Structure 1
Amino acid sequence: MSAGLWLALAGGLLGATMAQAEGVVAPSDVVFEDGAVAVSLTGAPGNPENGPDIINKGSGNCIACHQVSALPDLAFQGEIGPPLDGVGDRWSEAQLRGIVANAKMMFDESMMPAFYKTEGFIRLGDEFTGKAHAGEVTPILTAEQVEDVVAYLLTLKD
């Protein structure tokens, strides 16, 4: 492959990546107001159909701590956090987005992990190695996954 073709391809891929990221709010740029995040992290609504996969043993693993009656096939649902049944009636979209992104912004004593945070950690480890983390920190959930979880949670009505 010629150098010119290689550069054109690399430039095209970089442009596509930048276009994809355009409109996505970076974790460090999320604006919390009383724990809520009014603006979509992606600029688009989430897909509630993707929520159960994320809530299950996926990246979010929400059921490790929460129960969701709407998902009875998910085994070993947790009892540490409050049940998610009716959460769509109790919290607004902005409040749910804030809670999923970083629950400590609303509930400072929360044990819930900050799913969309990349800085301000104390003693961040490198998975299960016992060593300090090196390099860039990526959020547990992507902006799109946060929006998908929020869209799903909004469907959980009493």
Structure 2
Amino acid sequence: MSVVVSDSAMERGKFVCFLFVVSLTLSLVNGTYDKERDALLKGTFPNDFIWSAGTAAYQVEGAWNTSGKGPSVWDTFAHQGNVNSQHTGDVACDSYNKYPEDVQLMKQMGLRYYRFSISWPRIFPTGQSSFHNHLSQTTKKQAVLPIDIAERQII
């Protein structure tokens, strides 16, 4: 069985998804979440739609030289002045220090899964990373499953 979706319906769906992603991004950056604002967007998706989010380590973690971390390629590139306005990921969204609040926001938003990336140079200087363990444990406590667990449950 195949489902045919009109171009206009597809474009509307893409636009609604785009608006939700923008809203989610602004919520995480500002540390606030407005359920009423996003209720309209969530109401346009099927009830069984699974809401989730994902982040990239360099863009959200910060704390680039904390706890024995090694510099990433992007740290080296940005610190050499190769980025306009001299921005770096040294602080980024400071998720390294604010992950409990970040995960609480995810729970408030009704997210079921969270995919986070690991920057390998952050781990390999010592071969371990307590931050990623704490982040994974905190998401599980808030009923937001890290994506590695989510993938095993979906398959």
Q: Give the alignment's TM-score, normalised by structure 2.
A: 0.26
- Whose relative contact order is higher, 1 or 2, with alpha carbons under 8 Å and at least 6 apart? 1
Q: Give the alignment's TM-score, normalised by structure 1.
A: 0.26
